[in-house]
Amino acid sequence: MQEHIELRAPALKDYLSLLTASAIWGSTFLSNEIALVDFSPMAITAYRIIGAALILLIICRWFNRSLSLDRGDWWLVAAIGVLNSVVPFTLIGWGQLTVDSSTTGILLATSPFATLVMSHFLTRDDRFTWNKALGLALGFSGVFVLLGQGLKVDGGPVSGMLLIMLAACCYALSSILIRRLRKVSSLALAANTLVISGVIMLPLLLAIDPPWQQTFNSTSLVAIVYLAVGPTALGYILRTQIVKNNGAVFMSNVGYLIPLFAVFWGWLLLGSAPTANMFLALLLILAGIAVGQNRLKKI
Summarised one tens digit per residue, pLDDT across range 203-214 is 999 999 999 999
* Integer Cα distance of 148 and 247 in angstroms: 29
Q: Check residue 119 and give its pLDDT.
A: 72
Answer whether 285's CB lies under 8 Å from 142's CB. yes
Q: What average pLDDT does the segment 248-268 reach?
A: 78
Q: What average pLDDT does the segment 127-150 reach?
A: 71
Q: Check residue 153 and give its pLDDT.
A: 46
> Which residue type, as a one-letter code, is found at position 245?
N
Tell me the DSSP string of the chain: -PPP-------HHHHHHHHHHHHHHHTHHHHHHHHTTTS-HHHHHHHHHHHHHHHHHHHHHHTT------GGGHHHHHHHHIIIIIHHHHHHHHHTTTS-HHHHHHHHTTHHHHHHHHHHHH-SSS---HHHHHHHHHHHHHHHHHTTTTTSGGG--HHHHHHHHHHHHHHHHHHHHHGGGTTS-HHHHHHHHHHHHHHHHHHHHHHHS-GGG----HHHHHHHHHHIIIIIIIHHHHHHHHHHHH-HHHHTTHHHHHHHHHHHHHHHHH-----HHHHHHHHHHHHHHHHHTT-GGG-
Cα 1 → chain centroid: 30
* Integer Cα distance of 179 and 176 in angstroms: 6
Farthest-apart Cα atoms in the chain, separation: 59
Which of 16-20, 37-41, 160-164 shows the lowest mean pLDDT across its residues? Answer: 160-164
Instruction: Give residue limits of the domains in the chain.
Output: 12-298
**283: alpha, beta or left? (left if phi > 0; alpha if psi -120 to 50):** alpha
Closest listed residue to residue 104, CA positions, set 263, 249, 281: 263
pLDDT at 297 over 70: no
* Integer Cα distance of 282 and 257 in angstroms: 8
pLDDT at 26 over 50: yes
Task: Return the higher-pLDDT residue of 81 and 133.
Answer: 81
Q: Check residue 143 and give its pLDDT.
A: 73
Which of 14-23, 104-113, 162-171, 192-201 shows the lowest mean pLDDT across its residues? Answer: 104-113
The pTM (predicted TM-score) of the whole model is 0.79
- Dihedrals φ, ψ of 88, to 5°? -65, -40
* Integer Cα distance of 156 and 161 in angstroms: 7
Summarised one tens digit per residue, pLDDT across range 55-111 is 999 998 898 888 888 877 888 999 999 999 999 999 999 998 887 776 777 777 777
* Integer Cα distance of 284 and 269 in angstroms: 25
